[in-house]
Structure 1
Amino acid sequence: MNSFETVLRTLFSLFLTRRHTHRYFRRQAILESLNRLGTEERPASLRYESRKMRQVATDDVPAVLSRMDSSPEGLTSAQVESRRAQFGPNEVEHEKPLPAWRHLGRCYGNPFNLLLTALALISALTHDMKATVVIGTMVVLSTLIRFVQEGRSNRAAERLKAMVSNTATVIRRQVSDAAAVVGAGSDGARCCGEHLDTTQSAEPVELPISDLVPGDHVILSAGDMIPADCRVLTARDLFVSQGAMTGESLPVEKFSEIDRPFTSVFETPNLVFMGTNVVSGSATALVVATGPRTCFGTLSARVTASDRTPTAFEAGVNSVSWLLIRFALVMAPVVLLINGLTKGDWVDASLFALSVAVGLTPEMLPMIVTSTLARGAVTLSRRKVIVKRLDAIQNFGAMDILCTDKTGTITQDRIALARHTDVFGAPSGDVLRYAWLNSFHQTGLRNLLDRAVLEHVALDHDAPDAQDWRKQEWRKIDEIPFDFERRRMSVIVAEGDNPPLLICKGAVEEMLAACTWVSDGESTGALPLDAAMLVRLRAVTQDLNRQGLRVVAVAVREMPSAQSVYSVKDEAGLMLVGYIAFLDPPKETTAPALNALAAHGVEVKVLTGDSELVTAQVCAQVGFGHARFLTGPQIEKMSDAVLAHAVSKHRIFARLTPQHKERIVRALRDGGHVVGFLGDGINDAAALRAADIGISVDTGVDIAKEAADIILLEKSLMVLEEGVLEGRRTFCNMLKYIRMTASSNFGNVFSVLVGSAFLPFLPMLPLQLLVQNLLYDLSQTAIPFDRVDRGLIARPLKWNPRDLGRFMLFFGPVSSVFDIATFVLMWHVFGANSVARQSLFQSGWFVEGLLTQTLIVHMIRTPERPFIDSRAAWPLMLMTVLIAAIGIALPLSPLAGYFGLQALPLGYYPWLAGMIMGYAVLTTVMKKLYIRRFGW
């Protein structure tokens, strides 16, 4: 395999972010793969865009705006429409829906159909046109059913994905009607029109990422995905995670200007790329390249033609398929030798051996799997759960540990400002004023706490003078955005001619580390922050925490008037002025949801960055009791081995950084658990990628939704519990078909071996065996619509292909017992003991074999007593009755001679009823033995 092919295979899953939404963050970095490619192997379009990106990186801001034919106020609607027509939507080259003829070819080209086709060709060459027609019918039905079902599934999946979209904040110019009229006139008028356009105000709007065009201005803040390849125009402490592009583990800082040339576009600090994400800070950026012209899109276009890397679930299904194919490849020669040696007709023996091989292959497996997953996804969507990857349903059903954040999941997500106090706990209006100024002027990651402060002041709660200080002439000078390492953010504001004031708010411990002074409650008084004062302050905050309040500290610092540029270094020597405390009560549905999840074998663990005292208080209210908790600082000191033991003993984890969450999830997975993670923030992205199944919400940040496999339209554990159960139902129905087909086919082949060894003729003609297999497969097409016993979805379900072999060997021979009994019945009771009467023998086994095969659907679909304790859904019942009726009627019909069958005597049918009853009884006994020893 050459280097380019290696790159394609490595990168395929990396880039399918919209249609197949693979987790490209887990894959190899793009830069590593690019370095493997020689210059001559790199796509020409990539070299062109790389030169263009270098050019815009070295331009100053006016020059780059001119190069991109943009303006400081962004693009007008007319410019946008023109560029959209030229460049198309801002979408990378995904795996596009195949044309109908190619989709039809893919549906045909599976190993099972190829085996059938080989058999049809051999039948045609031997002038056995009957077999050719029947085998051809099997191929056509298998292909068409899969084609129709997959078409419906793909359309359903696309509709579901369309329900979850990422947006970008774009600055667009709003052109007035007057300007448009003037701009439509003569050349002079057009000049005037252009002049009027530049005077229009820029309006930020939220738009789908696909609507962006080159020349657009986008506003970036923490949690945003970079929507295109962009040049940074302004930046404020902008840190971007571009590990997907370069493999770097740490975020890199980006600036608006560069002072020297860089050898790689990825190292250029004023360029950002599609597929990366903002970790902290804020920026405005100019879109340079969109869609397939981005670096991300260029490589994506080259890899969409290669084969997609199979997921674990697909690998499991493939292993089952190839297990049966290998079994067929072993058994077919044995059947050929036995029949050839005992009957002497090697042509018939060959056809029969091939028929046996086909009988072992589950032709409908691809269709059953696809339609079952698609139906499960559609059903989940009705429960407000959107599945981005169909095969994620398997992990959804297998999940036994759910890690979730606290805010909005355990709690109501309706945070209210409950207290604003000075450092000693007394109510303080000054603290509220400082907090409001900070929340009002910050433009980075505005969270629920900021909204609560603004809403509180807007309603004048406990702030009689709020209207006065809100009217003061405060102007913003600068901002130091929030990040999850510092866990604080600052704004620098000034009022009139007074010196600038830095107002900082954040987590208590991180704030205390930045403070050296404490306000004494008066406007000018300050006390040193010594050890004794630190103990006193912590006692106040802990008392607030024990009341279930989330505490944020507020500090200030007067800055020099001459200073104009600020950075994190200025968050030092602060004076702590007090605290704002928030209440976020638990949801009424949380406790019942936790109990329901526990009853279904899913343990819930809470992972939060909040205080351990607040988290413990809230968790105690929803049923966690006095659960033990671990904190981030404690986890920091643990080795991986110690952490692996600790995570199994604790249910609450507090004061966590994103890296702590990721470590916890990985430790749980390494312990053999199937772990789901529910989160919606940028600090949850790493854990979402590390989990077996990432779950986010439609209101989450872009990076969280992109990393997730499942999107909830409502952030509720109750919704999640319903989704888990539906995932298990879907998985159960797939497992039914695989188990039934494997055991039934194995039993048939075992019966064929016995019959072939002792009978002077074939126990069933190749054509008859094929028709029986076709009818049986048709009866299985209703399995995706079957209901599932409650007991089967009570516990997590895991995919274990090795169990299939045991199940096949245990239940397969049960049907052979009654097949052999039928051989004895037809030979001794009805005298079908010669070549001349082989048609009667074959007809008897054809009917018995088809009815027992059909009955096994109901026997093995449930561990309960079929038809009594557990009844199949009506589509499956209808198909069972229909196929059984066809099987009984076929030997009596005018078509009987065509298939080599004949009418059976009336005395056969009581024996047949007895055989079926005996088969049901013996299967029930064996089922009990199997459950007792191995479980279900």
Structure 2
Amino acid sequence: MKWKKKLQQPQYALNSEKVFLTAIQPAKSVYSYLQTTRLGLTRAEVEDRQLTYGKNEVVHEQKKNPFIVFIKTFINPFIGVLTGLAVISLVIDVLMAEPGEQEWTGVVIIAVMVVCSAILRFWQEWKANEATDSLMKMVKNTCLVKRAGSGEEELDITELVPGDIVFLAAGDMIPADLRIIESKDLFISQASLTGESEPIEKFPEVKEKQYRKGSIVELDNICYMGSTVISGAAKGIVFETDNRTFLGTIARNLTGHRATTAFDRGISKVSLLLIRFMLVMVPFVFFINGFTKGDWFEAFIFAISVAVGLTPEMLPMIVTANLSKGALSMSKKKTIVKNLNAIQNFGAMNILCTDKTGTLTCDKIVLEKYINADGSNDESKRILRHAYFNSYFQTGLKNLMDKAILSHVKELKLEHLKDAYTKVDEIPFDFIRRRMSVVIEDKQGKRQIITKGAVEEMLSICSHTEFNGEVQSLTDELKVKAQKISEEMNRKGMRVLAVAQKSYIEKVGNFSVSDEKEMVLIGFLAFLDPPKPSAAEAIKQLH
């Protein structure tokens, strides 16, 4: 009961404070805080927590009863008008008619149109939902879990509970919200949560600055369900499962009450227009006929006939058939339409918001240009050489921009340049400094530090720059010029990194962040994720 009182949270509400408190727990106390042990949970503890929390699966929406879905196809203003007219027609033309004079035609036509429209809509939407469920059932995910008594075992991620100890390796999907307790070169892709394709390195401890900053997505030792391990290995403790996870709260917010579609609003307007028109015409026709002919019953029958005549009985069938045709066409394009009325929104949209990376672009960053600090072209490829040494000699995961540099050098067949140097040390990248450095030595024993990183951070460690071919003090005026060069490339959609170096290093021993000072800014690198060849035509077709 202690576990339930301490950690159970209101369903589907992300507790940011709990995430931060879990993140800042010291390694020696995190096991007790999350109420587990280094050996893992016992079978009894697992069963108790499974009863409390249920399966570890994100429930997007409850499976609907087929009967209820079918009944909802009749809940439509226009169908309501037709149904009302069918009932009136049934009473007047059948129930109140003399034997042998009963007229079933109007009732049958309206009923057939309404039922056929409902059946067609139900079948199309139910088939789409079944296809979606089948696709989801085909995907099975497992993870390596450590539990007391059974040791390490591979389990379906739906069996995880808070307190389980999970092992991660390259290629694994994060099965729940985890607190990292051990890691080695662990890089995580959070693209499914943030849209950023750049991997993030995770560590067992969190920086205190991150806690004060208040961004739960950027916490160094927290991994969220749905993220992917790009490289490295780690061990973590589950602290949230199912819809209580960060991913689960997003999913529940997206699958709440559905907004009214343009189609629904249009049908409602047409239905209300018909009702208003009938409220005017039916009494008018009724009283005119009644006063002129004196037979009020016949006048009433005629007024009802006018109401039936004003209503297009075939419209629901025609509309449903066209929407079904649209759904069928989209299915051939590998798109499942779960709600037929949503098709109208596709045609009615005037603004389409889409993720750029991988959708409109190739999701492959290339080195577009490399220029000197004064903005001139690097004809000697000196900037490229220094960037190549920095990317090649660093250890760990190469990020997308490092890969772009290495690929560009390979295309130019300049890979042999590295043979003249050996690596002495490196100062790894982190998200506070936003730069990384390597120390290399040539065959004559000459050492130099080469640093590349974000322009703002690089300018803060540079005291000089190579401007117009000369090494000059980096004055405020030259800093402004360098920033303008960078901003100009940013406006063209490029990512910009600055490159700096410092020669004649005589230090012996390990290098640290304190050595990144009095650097010489030598140039910039500009990267671009080029658009797909089909992007222009796709955008043109949307206009």
1:339 matched to 2:289? The reply is: yes
Aligned with 1:505 (options 425, 450, 453): 453
Distance 1:355 1:201, change over 3 A: same
Structure 1 gaps of 5+ residues are: 1-42, 176-182, 241-249, 258-269, 277-282, 482-487, 590-714, 725-795, 797-936
- Tell me how far 1:104 sits from its aligned partner: 1.8
Mapped contact 1:438–1:490 kept (Cα < 8 A): no
Mapped contact 2:261–2:342 kept (Cα < 8 A): no
Q: Secondary structure at the match of 1:205?
A: coil
Distance 1:385 1:506 in 2: 40
Aligned with 1:350 (options 280, 297, 300): 300
Distance 1:138 1:370, change over 3 A: closer
Q: Deviations over 1:304-362 (max 9, x none)?
A: 7x864324553233223222222222222223223333444434443443343344345
Amino acid at match of 1:577: I
Distance 1:389 1:560, change over 3 A: farther
- Tell me how far 1:225 sits from its aligned partner: 1.0
1:225 matched to 2:193? The reply is: yes
Q: Secondary structure at the match of 1:452?
A: helix
Q: Quote the residue 2:535 is aligned against.
A: 716
Q: Secondary structure at the match of 1:108?
A: coil
Distance 1:403 1:439 in 2: 38
Matches within 5 A, 1:214-613: 220=188, 223-225=191-193, 234-235=205-206, 252=215, 287-294=238-245, 308-362=258-312, 368-369=318-319, 372-373=322-323, 375-380=325-330, 382-383=332-333, 394=344, 396-397=346-347, 416-417=366-367, 423=373, 425=378, 426-428=380-382, 430-436=385-391, 441=396, 446-447=399-400, 449-457=401-409, 461-466=413-418, 472=423, 474=425, 477-480=428-431, 489-491=434-436, 503-506=451-454, 512=459, 515-518=462-465, 527-530=472-475, 552-555=497-500, 574-580=519-525
Q: Deviations over 1:817-858 (max 9, x none)?
A: xxxxxxxxxxxxxxxxxxxxxxxxxxxxxxxxxxxxxxxxxx
- Tell me how far 1:431 sits from its aligned partner: 1.5
Distance 1:373 1:439, change over 3 A: farther
Higher share in helix: 1
Distance 1:220 1:574 in 2: 31
Distance 2:501 2:134 in 1: 46
Taking every aligned residue pair, what percent have the same amino acid on both sides?
29
Distance 2:292 2:51 in 1: 74
Q: Quote the residue 2:161 is aligned against.
A: none
Q: Deviations over 1:659-714 (max 9, x none)?
A: xxxxxxxxxxxxxxxxxxxxxxxxxxxxxxxxxxxxxxxxxxxxxxxxxxxxxxxx
Distance 1:103 1:436, change over 3 A: same
- Tell me how far 1:576 sits from its aligned partner: 1.4
TM-score (norm 2): 0.62
Mapped contact 1:157–1:374 kept (Cα < 8 A): no
- Tell me how far 1:432 sits from its aligned partner: 2.6
Distance 1:514 1:274, change over 3 A: same
Matches within 5 A, 1:721-740: 721-722=540-541, 724=542
Mapped contact 2:23–2:205 kept (Cα < 8 A): no
- Tell me how far 1:203 sits from its aligned partner: 0.7
Distance 1:47 1:413 in 2: 33
Mapped contact 1:460–1:466 kept (Cα < 8 A): no
Matches within 5 A, 1:791-870: none
Matches within 5 A, 1:750-829: none
Mapped contact 1:238–1:253 kept (Cα < 8 A): no
Mapped contact 1:442–1:491 kept (Cα < 8 A): no
Mapped contact 2:145–2:167 kept (Cα < 8 A): yes
Distance 1:407 1:298 in 2: 24
TM-score (norm 1): 0.39
Distance 2:208 2:192 in 1: 15
1:102 matched to 2:68? The reply is: yes
Distance 1:502 1:431 in 2: 7
Structure 2 gaps of 5+ residues are: 1-8, 156-163, 181-185, 196-201, 228-233
Amino acid at match of 1:139: A
Distance 1:514 1:719 in 2: 45
Q: Deviations over 1:871-911 (max 9, x none)?
A: xxxxxxxxxxxxxxxxxxxxxxxxxxxxxxxxxxxxxxxxx
- Tell me how far 1:115 sits from its aligned partner: 3.8
Mapped contact 1:544–1:550 kept (Cα < 8 A): yes
Mapped contact 1:420–1:578 kept (Cα < 8 A): yes
Q: Deviations over 1:404-452 (max 9, x none)?
A: 9998888876654466566463322642335415986567xx44x3331
Amino acid at match of 1:109: I
1:142 matched to 2:114? The reply is: yes
Distance 1:163 1:560, change over 3 A: farther
Mapped contact 1:500–1:560 kept (Cα < 8 A): no
Distance 1:549 1:121 in 2: 67
Q: Secondary structure at the match of 1:379?
A: helix
Distance 2:79 2:489 in 1: 69
Alignment size in residue pairs: 482
Q: Secondary structure at the match of 2:537?
A: helix
Amino acid at match of 2:80: L
Distance 2:486 2:257 in 1: 57
Q: Deviations over 1:139-172 (max 9, x none)?
A: 354134323334314534775899999x9xx995
Mapped contact 1:550–1:582 kept (Cα < 8 A): yes
Distance 1:155 1:142, change over 3 A: same
Mapped contact 1:238–1:255 kept (Cα < 8 A): no
Aligned CA RMSD, in angstroms, stands at 6.4
Amino acid at match of 2:407: E
Q: Quote the residue 2:183 is aligned against.
A: none
Higher share in strand: 2
Amino acid at match of 1:516: S
Q: Secondary structure at the match of 2:435?
A: strand
Of 323-332 and 294-303, the range deviating more from structure 2:
294-303
Matches within 5 A, 1:606-685: none
Distance 1:451 1:296, change over 3 A: closer
Distance 1:156 1:527, change over 3 A: same
Amino acid at match of 1:149: R
Mapped contact 1:104–1:147 kept (Cα < 8 A): yes
Distance 2:487 2:10 in 1: 62
Distance 1:238 1:373 in 2: 54
Amino acid at match of 2:463: T
Matches within 5 A, 1:896-915: none
Mapped contact 2:363–2:529 kept (Cα < 8 A): yes
Distance 2:298 2:464 in 1: 98
Distance 1:459 1:138, change over 3 A: same
Q: Secondary structure at the match of 1:464?
A: helix
Q: Secondary structure at the match of 1:461?
A: coil
Amino acid at match of 1:518: T
Q: Secondary structure at the match of 1:337?
A: helix
Distance 1:431 1:135, change over 3 A: same
